[in-house]
Amino acid sequence: MLKTLVSIIIPCKGIDDYTRECVEHCKQLDYDNYEILLLPDDSEEIIAGVKVIATGPVSPGKKRNIGVTNSSGEFCAFIDNDAYPRSDWLKNALKHLENPTVGGVGGPGLTPETDSLPQKAGGYVLSSFMVGTLSSRYKTKQSFESDDIHSCNFVTQKSVIEEAGGWNEKYWPGEDTLMCLAIKHLGKKLVEEPDMVVYHHRRALFRAHLKQVSRFGEHRGFFVKKFPENSLKATYFLPSLLVLSFSAGALLSFLFSFFVNILALGIVTYLILSLFAAALQVKSAKMVFIVWLGIIVTHIVYGLSFLSGLLKSDLRR
């Protein structure tokens, strides 16, 4: 019996080594009825078994919509070009989508063993408990119902994407948040499953990692006021509250000497907690220090970017 056709949709700017790695792993899936659609800005490269569609320099949401329009599968599986799937990715995804109440399924994006030490350090920061509930995106965990599945690992029925109105073509990052919100409006559940694994190359700590974090923070801050239904969560505010609290504490300590001890206690408590979080992730003393520092600067950059997003009337790509 022929299995249901699945369209694997991979948006990218260009076809680089990560993209080729993604395609090769897709071809090694233990699921034998799929098509691969690769959507670079501009490429005439021919890849066996892959439908390459040049889209021009458009947003990832636009690329995914072009992929859906040109797809033939009943299901659409979305993955980023700097990620690659475990061999049982599609098989496990479709198993969970047999439940008609589920409108989409995702899973963790684990750091590949082949990543460099700075990349792994960025991965350790993202998967630490100091990141809050978002850390579940970067490590295996138990199954849970979600309202915000990451687009680097997202599978659903093509009809659901179409009924939801397609991917938002303006915002990036954040187009996955809006897709999930639209699917929830259809009365469907979204589920994160630990056996639906992709390996997602990390941004290297510090510069590339912090640049990505700043984009996430700014968009989430803006989305909190524009799309509060799945963005208005206390954990998203914590880094900003941390920055504001320590800034206010420093000012009050300058004006009133008794605030010095309060500020010192808060800083020491935070440093101990973040050091403990780093130590849970790695064993190397040198790497612990780097991850510890990474957690701290991630909170600062995210917190400031989140406040920036809150203050903006709109975001430009």
Question: What is the tens place of the pLDDT at every residue in 130-160?
Answer: 988 778 888 877 899 999 999 999 999 999 9
Q: How confident is the model at residue 317 (pLDDT cuts 50, 70, 90)?
A: low
Sorted by where each starts, the structural domains of the chain and their CATH numbers stand as: 6-113+139-200 (3.90.550.10), 224-311 (no CATH)
Which residues are registered as beta bridge partners of 110?
199
Inform me whether the pLDDT recorded for 65 exceeds 60: yes
Kind and range of the H or E element at 62? Answer: helix 60-69
Q: How confident is the model at residue 241 (pLDDT cuts 50, 70, 90)?
A: very high
What pLDDT, on a 0 to 100 scale, did the predictor assign at position 137?
83
What pLDDT, on a 0 to 100 scale, did the predictor assign at position 2?
57
Give the pLDDT mean for 218-222: 96
Both tokens of 1, joined, read 């019996």
Buried b (16+ CB within 10 A) or exposed e, 112-143: beebeebbbbbbbbbbbebbeebbbbbbeeee
Both tokens of 265, joined, read 């206690």
Q: What is the dihedral sign for C-alpha 273, 267, 232, 120? A: negative
Q: What residue has token string 């991979």?
A: 10
Rounded to 5°, the CA angle 119-121-126 comes to 95
Q: What residue has token string 């994006």?
A: 109
pLDDT one-digit tens code per residue, 73-111: 999 999 999 999 999 999 999 999 999 999 999 999 999
What pLDDT, on a 0 to 100 scale, did the predictor assign at position 284?
84
Give the pLDDT mean for 191-206: 96
Both tokens of 147, joined, read 């309202």
pTM value > 0.85: yes
Q: How confident is the model at residue 315 (pLDDT cuts 50, 70, 90)?
A: confident
Inform me whether the pLDDT recorded for 248 exceeds 60: yes
Query: What proportion of the chain, given as a percentage, has pLDDT over 70?
Result: 99
- How large is the C-alpha radius of gyration of the chain? 21
In Å, what is the CA distance from 52 to each residue of 34, 40, 186, 276?
15, 8, 32, 46
CB 317 within 8 A of CB 218: no
What pLDDT, on a 0 to 100 scale, did the predictor assign at position 304?
98
pLDDT one-digit tens code per residue, 21-43: 999 999 999 999 999 999 999 98
When the pLDDT of each residue in the chain is averaged and rounded to a whole number, the result is 95
What is the phi/psi pair of residue 104, to 5°?
Answer: -175, 150
Give the pLDDT mean for 214-236: 94
What is the phi/psi pair of residue 158, to 5°?
Answer: -60, -40
